[in-house]
């Protein structure tokens, strides 16, 4: 689990095929203190298992599923990526709960300067519009951001100078692809509402449409 607060950037120093998947070796621009073999690290928002990890870099195996669903397959030697280590229970939750399980790849439709801020508009991949709401949370290449506005086909975010500097967002241009992960909460609510009524009534936690309405999750 992650928070979407990017710790720093990494650089791809090696890329090679491994069966139907890929192996990447990455160098980080910050110290990976207390490196732990097999720990989870989010690379452009994709939760991956780090091996051969040291204070300055690590190697990851990327499955065919991750290559098909994310933009990792487009990376080349020299490419820069966002990096975040997994959340510890003692950490501040500065962003939002991010699983590292990317939903789809989106494209930058527009980049517009707003003085020292930048507004980005992204296309919404098929089937995800219902999970994206105004003032809701979304992860772009692993970065926790707030949806500024949205409709059925696009959504926009406004990025502050600090985030532009420490993440890949500052380098994004129109036509670039990004990984997006929608907020988990909407998916869980949808799953509960789609369950058969008798199963909802038998839920140990007593969660059903009446419970959700009573507590303000639906009308």
Q: How far is CA 7 from CA 11, 39, 81, 103, 167, in A?
A: 14, 15, 11, 22, 9
Q: What is the maximum alpha-carbon separation in the chain?
A: 55
194-219-130-209 Cα dihedral, nearest 10 degrees: -20
Q: Structure pTM?
A: 0.87
Q: How far is CA 202 from CA 60, 192, 196, 199, in A?
A: 42, 12, 10, 5
Over residues 153-160, mean pLDDT: 98
Q: Which CATH number does the domain 8-85 belong to among 2.40.40.20, 2.40.30.20, 3.30.200.20, 3.50.50.60?
A: 2.40.30.20
Assess whether the region 8-85 and the region 104-182 belong to the same CATH fold. yes
CATH number 2.40.30.20 is the correct assignment for the domain at 104-182 = yes
Q: What is the pLDDT of residues 42-58, one digit of tens each?
A: 999 999 999 999 999 99
Q: What is the pLDDT of residues 72-118, one digit of tens each?
A: 999 999 999 999 999 988 888 888 999 999 999 999 999 999 999 99
Q: Per-domain residue ranges for the chain?
A: 8-85, 104-182
Residue entry with tokens 């990851």:
60
CA dist 14 and 140 (Å) reads: 24
Q: How many helices (H) and strands (E) does the chain have?
A: 5, 13
């Amino acid at each position: 689990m992650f928070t979407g607060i990017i710790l720093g950037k990494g650089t791809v120093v090696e890329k090679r095929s491994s069966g139907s998947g890929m192996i990447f070796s990455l160098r980080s621009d910050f110290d990976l203190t207390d490196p732990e073999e097999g720990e989870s690290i989010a690379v452009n928002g994709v939760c991956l298992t780090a091996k051969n990890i040291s204070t300055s870099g690590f190697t990851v195996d990327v499955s065919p599923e991750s290559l098909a669903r994310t933009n990792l397959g487009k990376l080349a030697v020299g490419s820069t990526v966002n990096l975040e280590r997994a959340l510890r229970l003692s950490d501040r939750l500065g962003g939002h709960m991010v699983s590292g399980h990317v939903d789809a790849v989106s494209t930058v439709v527009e980049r517009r300067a707003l003085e020292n801020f930048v507004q980005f508009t992204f296309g919404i991949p098929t089937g995800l519009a219902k999970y994206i709401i105004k003032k809701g949370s979304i992860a772009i290449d692993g970065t926790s951001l707030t949806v500024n506005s949205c409709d059925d086909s696009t959504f926009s975010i406004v990025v502050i100078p600090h985030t532009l500097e420490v993440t890949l967002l500052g380098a994004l241009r129109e036509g670039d692809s990004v990984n997006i992960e929608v907020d988990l909460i909407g998916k869980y609510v949808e799953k509960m509402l789609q369950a058969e009524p008798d199963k909802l009534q038998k839920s140990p936690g007593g969660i059903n449409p009446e419970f959700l309405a009573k507590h303000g999750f639906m009308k």
